[in-house]
Amino acid sequence: METTETAVAAIRRFNRFHTRWVGALGGSLHGSGLALAEARVLYELAQRDDWQAAEMAKSLDLDPAYLSRILKRFAGQGWLERSRSVADGRAWRLRLTAKGRAAFQPLDEASSAQAGAILGRLAPLEQARLVDALADTERLLTGDVRDRSAPVTREHRAGDMGWVVGAHGRLYAEDYGWDLSFEALVAEIAAKFLREFKPDHERCFIAELDGQPVGSAFVVQEDEATAKLRLVIVEKRAHGLGLGKRLVREAIGFARAAGYGRMVLWTNDILHAARGIYVGEGFRLVAEEKHHSFGQDLVGQNWELALRPSAA
């Protein structure tokens, strides 16, 4: 019950912040003379020329009578013109006039400038975190994942290692309370990978969603016969897309094609989702040991996968 009350309070607090931040409490958004609902209707009209009033009311969850008054005001100012729908002669098609688009332009520019001012205060990694958080918020509040683009996987490129290090440090601190020594370890692994990179025997796979990195998996050379799987991670906003399994399978496929006889990895027993993937792909647990690392008491595990029958 306490958790529920805390979550309710957090949502209400965010609602109060957001309505103030976007100017919903005032009667003139960005000095336009338009209330928030009116500005939103103007925005939608600027995006397409074939709106019908009933369709817009449903899409924006606006009272039809209220929307009708807004549209009447826009028409009276010369911003809106209506014509019979070709598909349905009983319906009217709504379209902004040149005067209406001229009225929309400064409002659109002010909104973009407001968002730009926020982003301008943030470092690139913080901007990426904000984008991820906003996407997560929208998905969780609506429960709608239909608009997700298809993720892609690619090899690493300049700048990816910064994300790999930051994502590991952030997510393991959030989910498991691991301290900064873990982020330092990841930074050392990533730096060594770049410094000693062997293209024919090593590979970094990056998963990307909506143009942003959301997952990684590394294959590094342990010895001539052994590949090591490292730094497997998937951002929370990309959970449920099968990316963890996809990254691990790509890593295994690369290691096998590179001629390795086996693949090994080290993990901890609390990483249940990851261990489930490893078991599903045929890895077997060969050793485990208690240790105190990253500020926590943990149980480390060594897993192994035979890539060729002779390596079993």
Task: Please tell me the distance from the alpha carbon of residue 266 to that of residue 275, in angstroms, as a whole number.
Answer: 10
User: In this predicted structure, what is the pLDDT of residue 118?
Assistant: 84
User: In this predicted structure, what is the pLDDT of residue 146?
Assistant: 52
Angle between helices 98-120 and 36-47 (to 10 degrees): 110
Task: Please tell me the distance from the alpha carbon of residue 306 to that of residue 283, in angstroms, as a whole number.
Answer: 8
User: In this predicted structure, what is the pLDDT of residue 1?
Assistant: 39
pLDDT tens digits in sequence order for the chain, 312 residues long: 345 788 888 888 888 888 787 777 777 777 778 888 888 899 999 998 888 888 888 988 899 899 999 999 999 999 998 877 666 656 678 889 999 899 899 888 988 888 888 888 888 777 877 877 887 787 777 776 555 578 899 999 999 999 999 999 999 999 999 999 999 999 999 999 999 999 999 999 999 988 889 999 999 999 999 999 999 999 998 888 899 999 999 999 999 999 999 999 999 999 999 999 999 999 999 999 999 999 999 999 999 999 987 644
Domain layout of the chain by residue ranges = 2-121, 152-311
User: In this predicted structure, what is the pLDDT of residue 76?
Assistant: 93
Tell me the torsion sign for CA atoms 181, 184, 190, 191.
negative
Task: Please tell me the distance from the alpha carbon of residue 7 to that of residue 275, in angstroms, as a whole number.
Answer: 30
Task: Please tell me the distance from the alpha carbon of residue 186 to that of residue 170, in angstroms, as a whole number.
Answer: 12
Q: How many CB atoms lie within 10 A of CB 185?
A: 16
User: In this predicted structure, what is the pLDDT of residue 305?
Assistant: 97
- Amino acid letter, 107: L
User: In this predicted structure, what is the pLDDT of residue 2?
Assistant: 47
pLDDT digits (tens, 9 = 90+) for 279-291: 999 999 999 999 9
Give domain 2-121's CATH number out of 1.10.10.10, 1.20.120.80, 1.10.3720.10, 1.20.140.10: 1.10.10.10
- Alpha carbon 181 to chain centroid, angstroms: 26
Sort strands 203-209 and 80-84 into parallel, antiparallel or unpaired: unpaired
pLDDT digits (tens, 9 = 90+) for 184-233: 999 999 999 999 999 999 999 999 988 889 999 999 999 999 999 999 99
Terminal-to-terminal C-alpha distance of the chain? 51
DSSP string, the chain: -HHHHHHHHHHHHHHHHHHHHTTTTSSSGGGSS--HHHHHHHHHHHH-S-B-HHHHHHHHT--HHHHHHHHHHHHHTT-EEEEE-SS-TTSEEEEE-HHHHHHHHHHHHHHHHHHHHHHHTS-HHHHHHHHHHHHHHHHHHH---TTPPPPEEEE--TTHHHHHHHHHHHHHHHHH---HHHHHHHHHHHHHHHHT--TTT-EEEEEEETTEEEEEEEEEEEETTEEEEEEEEE-GGGTTSSHHHHHHHHHHHHHHHTT-SEEEEEEETT-HHHHHHHHHTT-EEEEEEEEEETTEEEEEEEEEEESSGGG-
- CATH code: domain 152-311 is 3.40.630.30
Sort strands 212-223 and 203-209 into parallel, antiparallel or unpaired: antiparallel
Does the predicted model carry a pTM greater than 0.85?
no
Task: Please tell me the distance from the alpha carbon of residue 251 to that of residue 117, in angstroms, as a whole number.
Answer: 40
